[in-house]
């Protein structure tokens, strides 16, 4: 398998007056195509900073980050925005749906930014919604949907540009236990049956247990990186 993400010696340092805070202290990690990886750790461990850098929402202070073999440090701001819109999918805890926009239009949104023609956008969005099992909600507004349905809309939206990697940041944090399990089974199915590469950030062991590999951060370093034998088989 080829690597979607490869980081070596990744560091992120924030100045704090005369001092500095080391959020990442030299991280080495690769994510191969088709992997489902959970990144865990307590608050301040560096896991969220790592996701921000992998998602090209922030820049590393030092180290190397290759995305699909390309050195991200050489990307301009426009290059990074283009890769985010075309090669990355994002799913957040708060869903990030536009409140006055239908489910279908919310799913179409990344394709609007990518310049996809309207009719093509509709067809692709409906196809992804069908995969997720929410096509019937196309005309619903966010306030007409449950939290689980809204998160499924966000997942469908993350798929429309056929991303190389989906980044899911605490995607079950606002959901009850049963709905959380349903959403995580959906991620598992997308990975197992459609070979979609997923990096999940969570502090919940029950959520991380759905991944095939669990990486734990502490104090800006990787504490452990182990296969989840029950899921990796």
d(CA 14, CA 61): 9
- Looking at the domain assignment, is residue 200 inside a domain? yes
Q: H-helix or E-strand containing 166? A: strand 165-169
Under the banding of pLDDT at 50, 70 and 90, the label for residue 16 is confident
Percent of all residues in the chain with a pLDDT value above 90, rounded to a whole number: 86
- What is the rounded average pLDDT of the residues 152-180? 94
Q: What pTM does this model have?
A: 0.92
Query: Among 82, 86, 120, 124, which Cα is nearest to 107's?
Result: 124
Q: How many CB atoms lie within 10 A of CB 76?
A: 8
First-last CA distance in the chain: 16
State how far the Cα of 71 lies from the Cα of 231, in Å rounded to an integer: 31
Half-sphere exposure of 3 (CA within 13 A, CB side): 13
Q: Say if 9 falls within a structural domain.
A: no
Pairwise CA distance, residues 51 & 65, whole Å: 12
Quick: pLDDT tens for 64-106: 999 999 999 999 999 999 999 889 999 998 888 999 999 999 9
Domain membership of residue 152 as a residue range: 34-57+77-232
| Any domain includes 6 | no
Element (H, E) at 4: strand 3-16
Which CATH number belongs to the domain containing residue 111 in this structure? Answer: 3.40.50.300
Query: Given CA atoms 194, 90, 218, 68 in this order, what sign does their dihedral have?
Result: positive
Domain count across the chain = 1
- The per-residue pLDDT for 233 is 54
Neighbouring residues of 21: CB distance < 8 A, sequence distance ≥ 6: 13, 14
Burial of 221 (0-12, 13-18, 19+ CB in 10 A): middle
**3-class DSSP state of 158:** helix
For residue 66, tell me if it sits in a domain. no
Within a domain: 164: yes
The answer to whether position 70 is within a domain reads: no
Please state, as a whole number, how many other Cβ atoms lie within 10 Å of the Cβ of residue 114.
13
Distance, CA of 155 to CA of 86 (rounded, Å): 15
Residue 179 lies in a domain: yes
- Report if residue 186 sits inside a domain: yes
């Amino acid at each position: 398998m080829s690597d979607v993400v490869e980081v070596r010696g990744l560091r992120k340092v924030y100045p704090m007056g005369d001092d500095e805070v080391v959020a990442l202290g030299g991280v080495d990690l690769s994510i191969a195509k088709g992997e489902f990886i959970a990144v865990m750790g307590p608050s301040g461990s560096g896991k969220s900073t790592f996701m921000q850098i992998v998602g090209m929402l922030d820049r590393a202070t030092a180290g190397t980050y290759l995305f699909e073999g390309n050195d991200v440090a050489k990307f301009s701001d426009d290059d990074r925005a283009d890769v985010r819109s075309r090669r990355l999918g994002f799913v957040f805890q708060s869903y990030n749906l536009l409140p006055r926009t239908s489910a279908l239009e919310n799913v179409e949104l990344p394709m609007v930014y990518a310049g996809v023609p309207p009719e093509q956008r509709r067809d692709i969005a409906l196809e992804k919604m069908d995969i997720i099992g929410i096509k019937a909600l196309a005309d619903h507004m966010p306030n007409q949907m449950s939290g689980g349905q809204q998160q499924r809309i966000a997942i469908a939206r993350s798929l429309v540009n056929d991303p190389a990697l989906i980044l899911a940041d605490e995607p079950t944090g606002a959901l009850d236990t049963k709905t959380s399990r349903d959403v995580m089974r959906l991620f598992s199915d997308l990975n197992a049956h459609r070979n979609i590469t997923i990096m999940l950030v969570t502090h919940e062991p029950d959520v991380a247990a759905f991944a095939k590999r669990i990486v734990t951060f502490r104090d800006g370093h990787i504490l452990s990186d182990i296969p989840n034998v029950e899921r990796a088989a």
